[in-house]
Amino acid sequence: MRIFSGIQPTGRKHLGNYVGAIRGWVEAQDRADAIYCMVDLHAITVPYEPAELRAYVLDTTAILMAAGLDPERCILFRQSDVREHTELAWLLGAVTAHGDLNRMTQFKDKSARQRELVSAGLFFYPVLQAADILLYKTDEVPVGDDQRQHLELARDIAQRFNDRFGETFVVPRHVIPEIGGRIMDLQSPESKMSTTAPTEAGTVLLLDDDKAIAKKVKSAVTDSGTEVQRGPDKAGISNLIEIMAVVRDSTPDEVEREFSDARYGDFKGAVADALVDYVAPIRERYNEIRPDEAAIERVLEEGADRARAVAEDTMEDVRAKMGIGPVHALP
């Protein structure tokens, strides 16, 4: 079985990134052929600074390694180092319906927030994402809940291509965590945790120090109730219960039972302590890895070589079936 996923090398990674995706990546590298990449080509679809992008790629790689990804047990690389990604994206555009792209909610959300140019790249983003996945004939894609629609599009594209040109791509399935698939902002629990939020007060960054994490959790917005219990009008406390369940490797029901007699303040304190212990090892390991940029670049280069070997085989097959390139490319 083969697993693939990618991560944006923009901003700083937070608890939602770790719980929704990264921890699943770490687990997957021991049960399948795992391929992961820094999707820097996706990052250029919105305004960015070139020097910052290069630094963020190294930051993100270091965070992934600090969280437990081992380049000896998985393929870890930079998307732009494997040019087959962009070639396949263009070819898949020929079997992608314009109407399908118009329905992508992430494009609607991101384009509405753009103050500058809304790029065609942002509109075409889901096709490149489909190419990322299908290029490696991926069986399973571990992602957060917010990527469900894009994964469904990738499945549709694979099926449409196979129907038209013959069996070529594996139709991938997504794997979304049962618990913690959507960690919410501590200050605005109706919104997903994000580094683009108006304030960082609701976002627990993986590189936050212990005091910052504790302060953010203890200041989390809850509601006027007193029971540590989930409910339709209790988004804030429900989010904290979900976080505690992830950190404890338990269930929300078990958390509710354990803290059935606790006040909100006491519960927040317990969540803060548990989360500090949960995040600290990642931050400490990151601080060991990040200074050696040459070593990080070697990891990415070696990973790209291994990824390219797989990608080249797929593209030879795709070109032949689509009638692209010289006749001798046919099997």
Give me the chain's average pLDDT, please.
91
CB distance 96 to 157 below 8 Å: yes
Mean pLDDT computed over 258-262: 93
Mean pLDDT computed over 234-262: 94
Same domain, 49 and 23: yes
190 inside domain: no
Tokens 């890895």 correspond to 289
Same domain, 215 and 267: yes
pLDDT the model gives residue 100: 86
Same domain, 172 and 297: yes
* pLDDT-derived band at 174, boundaries 50, 70, 90: confident
193 inside domain: no
Same domain, 230 and 297: no
pLDDT the model gives residue 104: 81
CB-count exposure of residue 130 (10 Å: 0-12, 13-18, 19+): buried
261 inside domain: yes
Quote the number of domains for the chain.
2
Same domain, 277 and 296: no
Which residue range(s) make up the domain with 20?
2-180+292-329
Same domain, 280 and 296: no
* pLDDT-derived band at 251, boundaries 50, 70, 90: very high
**Helix (H) / strand (E) containing 101:** helix 98-102
120 inside domain: yes
Q: Per this entry, what is the length of the chain?
A: 331
**Helix (H) / strand (E) containing 7:** strand 2-7
Nearest to 310 by CA among 26, 85, 107: 85
pLDDT the model gives residue 121: 84
For residue range 73-109, list pLDDT tens digits in order.
999 999 999 999 999 999 999 999 988 888 887 776 7
Question: Does the pLDDT of residue 206 top 60, yes or no?
Answer: yes
Same domain, 140 and 157: yes
Same domain, 89 and 176: yes
Same domain, 234 and 311: no
Which of 7 and 115 is assigned the larger pLDDT?
A: 7
pLDDT the model gives residue 175: 80
Which of 117 and 140 is assigned the larger pLDDT?
A: 140
CATH number at residue 251: 1.10.240.10
Residue ending a domain, choose from 254, 270, 287: 287
Residue ending a domain, choose from 270, 287, 304: 287
CATH number at residue 175: 3.40.50.620
Tokens read off for 53: 């992008």
For residue range 4-20, list pLDDT tens digits in order.
999 999 768 999 999 88
CB-count exposure of residue 115 (10 Å: 0-12, 13-18, 19+): exposed
pLDDT the model gives residue 198: 81
188 inside domain: no
Question: Does the pLDDT of residue 308 top 80, yes or no?
Answer: yes
Predicted structure pTM score: 0.89
156 inside domain: yes
Same domain, 175 and 60: yes
Please report how many Cα atoms fall inside a 13 Å half-sphere around the Cα of residue 110, on the Cβ side: 20
CB distance 228 to 260 below 8 Å: yes
* pLDDT-derived band at 178, boundaries 50, 70, 90: low
Of 16-25, 110-119, 186-195, the one with minimum mean pLDDT is 110-119
Same domain, 264 and 305: no
195 inside domain: no
Same domain, 212 and 265: yes
**Alpha-carbon torsion, ordered 114, 190, 250, 4, to 10 deg:** -20
92 inside domain: yes
